[in-house]
Each structure stands twice: as structure tokens, then as C-alpha cells.
Amino acid sequence: MFFVAAVAAAIGAIASPRVANQQGAAVSSPPSAAQKIAPWVTEHTANGQQAEFLVVLADQADLSPAAALNTKAEKGRFVHDALWNKAQTTQGPILQWLRERGIEHSSFYIVNAILVKGSREIAEALASRPDVARVEGNPHIHNALPQLGAVTQAP
């Protein structure tokens, strides 16, 4: 088990783009726009196709102060308000950019993300922004549940 964890850590260190600061300490360089886009989005926006994807913002709410609150109601109110306020203060520029271009979208404050329907060019433009952490796919899942048949009554 230790070996697997060590290998995973080594691969992560190798794959992580790093540069040295003036003191010689390793510092991660910010990911490129292409690195922020999930493979699903790239695949489903090929050849001019449009797909739904989630634009997850880099700035997320700090919910740790909720642990110090006494009641579940206080914690719930704090978490709700923190998430709502963070979305209100960070999503505005992206929402305006989407509205100006007539791009279909919906805002979600729970994860501070915006659902967008668009092309690869739109995904790339959004991913290139420093306020965007990543662009994730929103695949449609079809659940093959059994269909309800005729209901028979017990004798």
C-alpha cells in the first residue's frame, strides 16, 4: 500500500508543472487553459459540436467557521449564506461575458459553478480566465430502470 502511495506522489510531482522562485523553492505554475478542460468536454465539443459543461470558479467559499457554531440551524444558515455570497461576488464577470454573447447558461451557488452550453472555443475562452479553476463535462445519464407493469392485487 505504501508503495502505491509513493508512486502516486512521485507521478504527481513529475506531472505537476513547477518553477523555482527567487529563493529556489519550487512553486507550481498555473495550469494552462487546455489543462483546465476535462477530456469529456474536449471530446464532446469536437468538430464544432456543442455540449453542456460546468465552469467551476477558482474562488470557493471558506466553510470552516461553521464548525464553531452551536446548532445545526446556525451551521446551515452560515453555509448557505457563505456559498450564496461567494457566488454573488465572483460569478458576475463571467455571467456578464456569457450574457453579452447570448450564450445559454445557469448559475449554481452551491459549488460556485456555471452550467454553460457551448462550443470548444467557448470552453477554451472560459478556461483561459484566471478566475476559472476548471471546466467539467455535464454528461446526460440515461438510467435503465425497470418499467412499472400492470399492478396486480393480492388475493
| CA separation for the pair 146, 81 (Å, rounded) | 40
The grid coordinates of residue 74 equal 446556525
Where do the domains of the chain lie, and which CATH numbers do they carry?
Answer: 31-137 (3.30.70)
- With vertex at residue 93, the alpha carbon angle to CA 52 and CA 36, rounded to the nearest 5 degrees, is 50
For residue 63, the model assigns a pLDDT of: 97
Are 96 and 5 within 8 A, CB to CB? no
For residue 22, the model assigns a pLDDT of: 60
Per residue of the chain (155 residues), what is the pLDDT tens digit? 333 333 233 333 333 444 445 665 666 778 888 899 999 999 999 999 999 999 999 999 999 999 999 999 999 999 999 999 999 999 999 999 999 999 999 999 999 999 999 999 999 999 999 999 999 999 988 888 887 766 666 66
- With vertex at residue 80, the alpha carbon angle to CA 77 and CA 82, rounded to the nearest 5 degrees, is 105
Answer yes or no: pTM beyond 0.85. no
| CA separation for the pair 19, 36 (Å, rounded) | 19
For residue 150, the model assigns a pLDDT of: 62
